[in-house]
Amino acid sequence: MKPTTLCTFFIFIIFWVVPVSGDEKVTGHMAPFIDERLSSSIELDCGVSIVENKDKRKLPVNRINNWCMKAVSRFPDFLKAKQIKINTSKQFHWVLSFLPEDHCYRCLNDLRYRFSERQFQADVIGYTDKNLQYSFVFDIESDKEFKPTVIHELFHAQSMFYGLYDKHSRDDFEKAAKDEVLADEFTNWLDK
């Protein structure tokens, strides 16, 4: 092989193989990649599927299931108490991921890549995306904010699923602000 051909070959390899090697970081893909998903999802009795547990920590599945069942069964009662009319008759289903709260690649506060298109570009311990129909929650079960965050995000999920979120306003920021207030009220109300 001629030296120029060999040099061209190595340049081709560098530009072709390096990007395909898996070192390239993907921007704007919030849903878990196939290799980030659990080998089989954890199906909760409330219609929620847990599909990702990034740190592979042992999740308190029974407790999460109980919180979810309570949040879903009491959601219509909360709406009635707030005099909000919305049809909640269809079977609720949603997807839930548990992620480290960090800024590392593909973590909950990875605003540079995974969550670069998130509506609110601030650090969070939970986030729910209407279009994707996913909720993402930090994964430290021992933290006192773990349970309230799971319930809070389940409110957002139901609000988006049943159409309450879209009824708040036409403006996305106003919708989110109103839904945030209701999610906080629901979380406190449910814990009584």
Is 39 in a helix, a strand, or coil? strand
The CATH code of the domain that includes 166 is: 3.30.2010.30
Is 128 in a helix, a strand, or coil? strand
Is there a domain that residue 140 lies in?
yes
Is there a domain that residue 7 lies in?
no
Is there a domain that residue 15 lies in?
no
Strands 48-53 and 126-129: unpaired
Domain of residue 114 covers 28-190
Is 148 in a helix, a strand, or coil? helix
Determine contact, residues 25/105, Cβ cutoff 8 Å. Answer: yes
Is there a domain that residue 164 lies in?
yes
Total count of domains within the chain: 1
Is there a domain that residue 14 lies in?
no
> In Å, what is the CA distance from 35 to each residue of 31, 32, 38, 119, 121?
11, 8, 8, 25, 26
Residue that is written with structure tokens 């009662």 in the block: 77
Residue-by-residue pLDDT tens, the chain, 192 positions: 555 554 444 444 444 444 444 568 999 899 999 999 999 999 999 999 999 998 777 899 999 999 999 999 999 999 999 999 999 999 999 999 999 999 999 999 999 999 999 887 899 999 999 999 999 999 887 889 999 999 999 999 999 999 999 999 888 889 999 999 999 999 999 987
Residue that is written with structure tokens 């990702």 in the block: 52
Is there a domain that residue 13 lies in?
no
